[in-house]
Amino acid sequence: MESQNELEIGIGTKEATTLKPAQVKIVDVRIVEVGEKRNKKLVCDVKHPDKLETIKISAVKYEKNKGQLEEVGLWINKDEDSLIAKGSALAVFMNSLHATTLNDLKDKEVLTTDGERGFLCFKVY
């Protein structure tokens, strides 16, 4: 019944708040399944200095080739040994923070930058 009430919700008048890039602290990590194919993606709950609540970041902007930046989701791509694929965006992100496992990312401080779609992403370059 509640979803029927949501059909009556109108358009708000308040501007959406946009957080500026800053150094954030990863407070928790989890793997979520995304889309019909249920691909796995890492989502980090981070503490931003300008917001009381944690925010979620699941993308990284990194230097893929010399001088070429790429923004990509933190997808869980595994190699034939079921380890995180070497050279993947997630592996580059983990290496930059000296993390050997996903849980090692907790309590790490990371810079963020503006993403292509208007959301913050981790900055690794």
Digit-coded pLDDT (tens) for 80-99: 999 999 999 999 999 999 99
Tokens 């407070």 -> residue: 27
CA 122 – CA 43 distance, rounded (Å): 11
pLDDT at 77: 95
pTM: 0.85
Contact 91, 104 (CB under 8 A): no
Q: What is the pLDDT of residue 125?
A: 87
Of 121, 115, 117, 94, the closest CA to residue 106 belongs to: 94
In which residue ranges of the chain is pLDDT below 70? 1-4
